[in-house]
């Protein structure tokens, strides 16, 4: 999936912002305090005058040098589209607004929770559809500490959570809360602050998964929206052509831009004749193209210059007649292969023309 990079980046940013940092707070270390002795005059010089009104005793500090590790409460990170929180809410709760393309908001949230549990190699112990709640199995919110050449295999703690979805009556908004159901650790006792941090962190992981899944949904929707339907047919002169029901002006204005995204270089656009002249060169794919999801479609035609005549059809649609550099129309078999390749390119790249 081309979204693994963005998802990993989103999760790493959330971890850094939730307040569950790994850096200790050494504000109370004794080296941060300096107790000065009173000013001593060198031998042979008189002690400077000092107004008793402003005389201060030399301070003595007896601080514990051990770091106290003070941390702020964790924050719910609303990175997913349509998510928000209520100011002053004391619970680990986030609100989701129903975005375009989501049929059932509560089901979409439910599936995001299940996906997080699968990623954590655990499952739901209890699923109550009536109350829209899931009680999870054991898993570790905080992963073992990782280094450059090794990692600590011991988990600090494990937790179980109860996620509850509450959907508004209009079904356009739903809230998700996370509550710590159980906790176990051999070295770190559970405190109210730690509980709050764990609950928020568990919630943020679901929000990140929701965001990831909705971005995938958006890609699928774009592939289905605004797609021009190209069919095999004939122009008004009886030549084999690609035919669409869409308006001539819209197709002519946008088709050159579409060609440029398919490895064509536009040479000339003759608006009076409706003729587009373009050079085609087969694309060269690379590893980076596959990683970023930018693999270019290769068309079933040879490298060279082509002319595309855009014309109005008798029934109000638009025809695209493809010709070589000499002005000869392409063979019907080539046109049929070209039609299929262009349709696939439109759907794969979600291009709206």
Q: How far apart are CA 200 and CA 179, in angstroms?
A: 9
Helix (H) or strand (E) holding 215: helix 192-224
HSE (side-chain half, CA atoms, 13 Å) at 22: 8
Q: In which residue are the tokens 């060198």 written?
A: 42
Within 231-271, where are the H helices? 248-260
Distance (Å, rounded) from C-alpha 179 to C-alpha 110? 16
State both tokens at 178: 């996370």
State residue 64's pLDDT score. Answer: 58
Phi, psi of 270 (to 5 degrees): -105, 100
| CATH domain 231-349 topology | TATA-Binding Protein (3.30.310)
Instruction: Return the percent helix, strand and coil in the chain, to nearest 5.
Output: 30, 25, 50
CA angle 125, 127, 132 (to 5 degrees): 140
Residues 6 or more apart whose CB falls under 8 angstroms from that of 112 comprise: 206, 209, 210, 213
pLDDT for 345 equals 76
Q: What is the pLDDT along the chain (353 residues), one digit of tens a residue?
A: 444 445 555 555 555 555 544 444 555 555 555 555 667 778 888 888 878 888 777 666 555 555 555 678 899 999 999 999 999 999 999 999 998 889 899 999 999 999 999 999 999 999 998 889 999 999 998 776 554 444 445 578 999 999 999 998 888 899 999 999 999 998 889 999 999 999 999 999 999 999 999 988 887 776 565 556 688 888 999 999 999 888 888 888 888 888 888 888 999 999 899 999 999 998 876 544 444 444 556 788 999 999 999 999 988 889 999 999 999 999 888 888 898 888 777 766 555 55
Q: Cβ–Cβ contacts within 10 Å for residue 92, how many? A: 25
- Cβ–Cβ < 8 Å for 109, 207: no
Q: What is the pLDDT of residue 22?
A: 41
- What span, in angstroms and rounded, lies between the C-alpha atoms of 73 and 241? 65
Question: Domain residue spans in the chain?
Answer: 4-24+73-222, 231-349
Question: How far apart (Å, rounded) are the C-alpha atoms in residues 263 and 304?
Answer: 11
The CA-atom distances, in angstroms, between 312 and each of 117, 228, 319, 329 are 56, 16, 6, 17
Contacts of 296 (CB under 8 A, 6+ apart): 262, 263, 283, 285, 289
**The architecture CATH gives domain 4-24+73-222:** 2-Layer Sandwich (3.30)
| pLDDT value at residue 132 | 92
User: pLDDT value at position 244?
Assistant: 85
**C-alpha distances in angstroms, 67 versus 71, 72, 144, 152?**
12, 15, 21, 21
In this structure, what token pair is assigned to residue 119?
């990623």
- C-alpha 221/C-alpha 257 separation (Å) is 21
353/349 Cα distance (integer angstroms): 12
Q: What is the pLDDT of residue 60?
A: 62
pLDDT value, residue 38: 66
Q: Give the long-range contacts of residues 85-94, CB within 8 A, separation 24 or more.
A: 91/177, 91/179, 92/177, 92/178, 92/179, 92/196, 92/199, 92/200, 92/202, 92/203, 93/175, 93/176, 93/177, 93/203, 94/175, 94/176, 94/203, 94/207
User: Can you tell me which residue has the tokens 């059932």?
Assistant: 104
Residues linked to residue 84 through DSSP beta bridges, in sequence order: 95
Fold agreement (4-24+73-222, 231-349): no
Nearest to 163 by CA among 217, 101, 115, 211: 115
Question: How high is the pLDDT of residue 227?
Answer: 52
Cα–Cα distance for residue pair 263/296, rounded to 1 Å? 8
């Amino acid at each position: 999936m081309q979204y693994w990079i963005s998802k990993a980046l989103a999760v790493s940013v959330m971890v850094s912002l939730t307040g569950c940092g790994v850096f200790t707070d050494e504000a109370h270390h004794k080296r941060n305090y300096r107790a000065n002795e009173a000013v001593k005059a060198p031998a042979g010089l008189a002690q400077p005058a000092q107004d008793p009104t402003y005389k201060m005793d030399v301070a003595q500090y007896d601080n514990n040098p051990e770091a106290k590790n003070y941390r702020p409460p964790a924050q719910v990170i609303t990175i997913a589209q349509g998510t928000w929180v209520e100011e002053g809410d004391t619970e680990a709760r986030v609100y989701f607004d129903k975005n375009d393309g989501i049929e059932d908001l509560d089901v979409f949230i439910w599936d995001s929770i299940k996906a997080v549990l699968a990623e954590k190699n655990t499952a739901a112990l209890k699923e109550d559809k009536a109350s829209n709640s899931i009680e999870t199995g054991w898993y570790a919110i905080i992963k073992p500490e990782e280094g450059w050449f090794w990692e600590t295999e011991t988990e600090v703690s494990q937790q179980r959570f109860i996620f509850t979805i509450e959907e508004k009556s209009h079904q356009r908004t739903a809230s998700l809360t996370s509550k710590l159901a159980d906790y176990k650790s051999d070295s770190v006792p559970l405190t109210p602050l730690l509980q709050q941090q764990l609950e928020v962190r568990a919630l943020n992981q679901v929000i990140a998964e929701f965001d990831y899944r909705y971005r995938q949904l958006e890609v699928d929707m774009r592939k289905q929206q605004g797609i021009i339907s190209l069919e095999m047919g004939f122009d008004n002169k009886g030549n084999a052509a690609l035919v669409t029901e869409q308006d001539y002006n819209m197709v002519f204005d946008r088709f050159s831009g579409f060609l440029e995204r398919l490895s064509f270089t536009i040479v000339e656009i003759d608006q009076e004749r409706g003729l587009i002249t373009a050079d085609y060169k087969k694309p060269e794919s690379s590893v980076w193209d596959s990683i970023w999801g930018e693999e270019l479609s290769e068309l079933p035609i040879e490298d060279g210059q082509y002319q595309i005549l855009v014309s109005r059809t008798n029934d109000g649609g638009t025809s695209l007649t493809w010709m070589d550099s000499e002005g000869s129309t392409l063979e019907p078999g080539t046109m049929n292969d070209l039609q299929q390749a262009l349709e696939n390119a439109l759907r794969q790249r979600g291009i709206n023309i």
